[in-house]
Every structure is written in C-alpha cells, then in structure tokens.
Structure 1
Amino acid sequence: MKNSRNARRYAEALYDVAKDHAHEDQIERELLTVRQVFSAPSDLVDFLQDPKQWMNRARIIKSTFMTFSSELVKLLLIMVEDHAEQDVPGMVDHYTYLINEKRGVGVGKVYSVTYLTPHQLEDIEAHFAKGFGYERLALQNEIDESVIGGFKVVINNRVYDVSLKAKLEDVKRKFVPLYKR
C-alpha cells in the first residue's frame, strides 16, 4: 500500500456513507471481491494505470462493478481518478477494521511454534477478548519458530507475548549490564 493515510481516508468516507444508508454489511461483502481484483496482478489494474486509457477508466469501473452498491462504485471511481488504485487493498483492510470495531470484534494473529488446535485457539480468543477491549476475538494462527515455546498475540499493533523467547530476553535484560548488550 503506497499511502496508508489516503487508504484510511477513503475507507472512513465509504464507511460513513454506508452507515448513513445502512449498507455496511453489503459493502463489506462486495469489498472482498474488490480486494481480490485489486490485489492480484490483473488486466484491470494494468488497464486502469495505463495513461492511454484515462478516458475509459470510468466506463470500465462502472461495467466491471455494475452489480455493486453505488456508494462503492463511486468511491472506486474517485480512487481511480486520484490515481490511487494501489491504495484499494489498504482501503478494504481499513474498512474491515472499522466495521469490526463497530461489532466489537478484534482481528489479529497468534504466533506459535506449531499450529494450535481449534479448542486452544478458542480458549485464547475467549481469554484475551476483554483484555484487548473486545466482545470477541477472531485470531489467525501463524507459525513462528522464533517464539521457541508459548505464543504471542498481536491485535491492532498491541502485543501480548508469553513466548519462551520473550522470557529468555527478559532474563537476559535483567542479568546482562547495559553496556554489554
């Protein structure tokens, strides 16, 4: 994402308009398709970025996304006119973040040495939901062998680290003088 500030502004504008028209959920579903189209290398993105085709951009967006909500199509037209096609995936991510915040759902990742069982993941989600200020958490499990043991939870740039690696680093900080680190 080239300019995350612009992506956030576009997402917040779309969210406000969607909320006013009570289309938040519909637009969220549509944005999943939009993310796929704009994330992967595609002929559409190449076409939109071709300076020779600037007159046809609006027509192509309207015809490609004709079944989508008018709010989303208008935003895509604005983004294409602003040459912000590269910000579309970031806009989708931030819109998803905004709608999850409204629902009280935190989305994040759990890093562990091995994959957690569904029951372990549910236990972690239930345990950390209130601590992170959410009604519910939706966590993805990712493998990170550097944690050595335990796990690390990351939600919206907030980290709760109960990994063996973190504990070893803490012991190192306590026993090794500053000038020898």
Structure 2
Amino acid sequence: MSRETIAAKRYAKALFEVAAQQQKTLEVEQELKAVVEAITADNDVQQFISTPNISVTVKLDVLKKALQEKVSQPVINTLELLIERGRADILPDLLESYIRIEGESLGIADATVYSTYPLSEQEKATVAAQFGALANKKIRVENVIDKSLLGGVKVVIGDKLYDGSLAGKLERLEKSFNRQAQ
C-alpha cells in the first residue's frame, strides 16, 4: 500500500467523522465526487493547483470563491488542508476511501451492473434488492452499458463478480461438460 493511499485513508476517515457528526455523510460524498470530477477533468485546474509558483493563499482564495455556497465547510476545509500540504493529488484516492468508509459504517455497498441496455429504475431496484439480500447491505446501483455482453448482466460489488451474463453461463456450461468428459 502506497504512502498516498495511507494518507488518503487518514484524510477520508477524518472527513467522514466530521460529516457523521453533522449527519451529512451522503451529502459530503456527493460534494466530494463533484469536486474530484471537476478537478480531475480539467487540466488547467490541475495545473493551477500543482504549480509551485502560485502561492497557497492564491490557490485557496480561488478555490473558496469557486466552491463557496456549492459545497459544505468540511469539504472546503479538507481541500484547504490538502492544498496547504501539497497533497491535492490524493483527492481521487481520498474519495475512494471515503466511499469505502461510509459504506462500511452505513451498511451501503456500490454495485456496478453491466448490461446490454440501460436498466429501468424498476430493474435497478430489483437488482439492488436481490444483491442487497445477498451482501446483507443496502446496494446503490450504477448501470454500465456493455455491448460485448450477449445478454444477462454482470454485477460487481467490491471485489466480487457475479456473472449472470449469457457468455458466463455458456462458459460454466462448457466447463461442466469438460469435467464430465474427463
């Protein structure tokens, strides 16, 4: 485990504790996601934050003005701390760690569901209910379209893959035939 990952976990834990005290854990997650996406998607912003010739004060003033009234104080405070310490590069790891800590604390797990077509809200709810019972957690579903699937779905929760795709079923069928032939 790298130093950056360890540091990101510490910052994430501290941010989660503050958010939990204020009963805003899910709001903070959404705000943190938006900030990380905005920063990582724009090379100019990344360069601005990482340029050593620009003072920390100027960086913080610009970020505060840009984020004021858009994100909560705990998120702003965390960003300030990261920028002051030259650790803004760990933001994506911090987000990942925050989501993991939040999930463990609140009994929430994120599931990535791969399907050949966009799932309806009803289908997402069904997947969430079925896999929630299996994982004994509340499941949040993110649907990813994968045209390479022949049919069915693949569900990834944490480091577990549940392959209900047609290709996966055919592969398992082939393996069972091969075992019987031996």
Normalised-by-shorter TM-score class: 0.7 to 0.9
Tell me the distance in 2 between the aligned counterparts of 1:113 and 1:22. Answer: 38
In structure 2, the residue matched to 1:108 is: 111
In structure 1, the residue matched to 2:170 is: 168
Structure 2 spans left out of the alignment, 5+ residues: none
Tell me the distance in 2 between the aligned counterparts of 1:90 and 1:144. Answer: 26
Q: Normalized against structure 2, the TM-score is what?
A: 0.76
Report the secondary structure of 1:109's partner residue. strand
Cα distance, 1:64–1:141 mapped onto 2, change above 3 Å: closer
Aligned length: 175
Q: Which amino acid in the other structure matches residue 149 of structure 1?
A: G
- Return the match for 1:131 from 131, 134, 137: 134
In structure 1, the residue matched to 2:83 is: 80
In structure 2, the residue matched to 1:150 is: 152
CA offset at residue 15 of structure 1?
Answer: 0.7
In structure 1, the residue matched to 2:17 is: 16
Cα distance, 1:172–1:20 mapped onto 2, change above 3 Å: same
Report the secondary structure of 2:151's partner residue. coil
Tell me the distance in 2 between the aligned counterparts of 1:38 and 1:45. Answer: 6
Tell me the distance in 2 between the aligned counterparts of 1:147 and 1:139. Answer: 18
Q: Deviations over 1:117-151 (max 9, x none)?
A: 333322222111110121x3221222223332221
Report the secondary structure of 1:44's partner residue. helix
Tell me the distance in 1 between the aligned counterparts of 2:72 and 2:53. Answer: 28
Cα distance, 1:11–1:120 mapped onto 2, change above 3 Å: same
Tell me the distance in 2 between the aligned counterparts of 1:138 and 1:126. Answer: 10
Q: Normalized against structure 1, the TM-score is what?
A: 0.77
Cα distance, 1:145–1:33 mapped onto 2, change above 3 Å: closer
Report the secondary structure of 1:145's partner residue. coil
In structure 1, the residue matched to 2:8 is: 7
Tell me the distance in 2 between the aligned counterparts of 1:162 and 1:22. Answer: 37
Tell me the distance in 2 between the aligned counterparts of 1:152 and 1:36. Answer: 26
CA offset at residue 23 of structure 1?
Answer: 4.2
CA offset at residue 93 of structure 1?
Answer: 3.7
In structure 1, the residue matched to 2:50 is: 49
Structure 1 spans left out of the alignment, 5+ residues: none
